[in-house]
Amino acid sequence: MTDSASGLICPKCEQPLIANGKQWQCPDRHSYDTAKQGYINLLLANQKKSKNPGDDADMVRARTDFLDTGIYAPISDALNAMVAADGVILDIGCGEGYYTERLQKHLPQASVIG
């Protein structure tokens, strides 16, 4: 994700988020990391209930391998057929971005952010 995704706001203070390398920060210095898969983790450090919240690398790889089999493609296609937009679409809780990426391909004129 790039800083061209203007319109993102900090979930803590609702001020604009601005890209700063692989981090996004608001004027109050709340900071959010961009994962290597490209999504922004919108949990502040004090909101994480464990030292390693979310999925580890093996879990992400296994899920990606499974989704790459195409078994969920018909579900994705059916959902995409219901969406008609040319603005900005925000997919919150998008995981590794399987559905988000397919939606962007379905709606190339839209700006799909996950």
- Taking only the tens place, the pLDDT of each residue in 40-61 is 777 766 665 666 666 777 888 8
Residue 44 near residue 29 (C-beta atoms within 8 A): no
In a domain, 61, yes or no: no
In a domain, 63, yes or no: no
Structural domain harbouring 48: 1-54
In a domain, 60, yes or no: no
% of the chain surpassing 70 pLDDT: 83
Other Cβ atoms closer than 10 A to 15: 13
Judged by DSSP in three states, 61 sits in helix
In a domain, 67, yes or no: no
Q: Are residues 9 and 40 in the same domain?
A: yes
pTM (predicted TM-score): 0.60
- Extended strands (E) in 15-63: 18-20, 23-25, 31-34, 40-41
pLDDT for the residue 59: 83
Q: Are residues 6 and 33 in the same domain?
A: yes
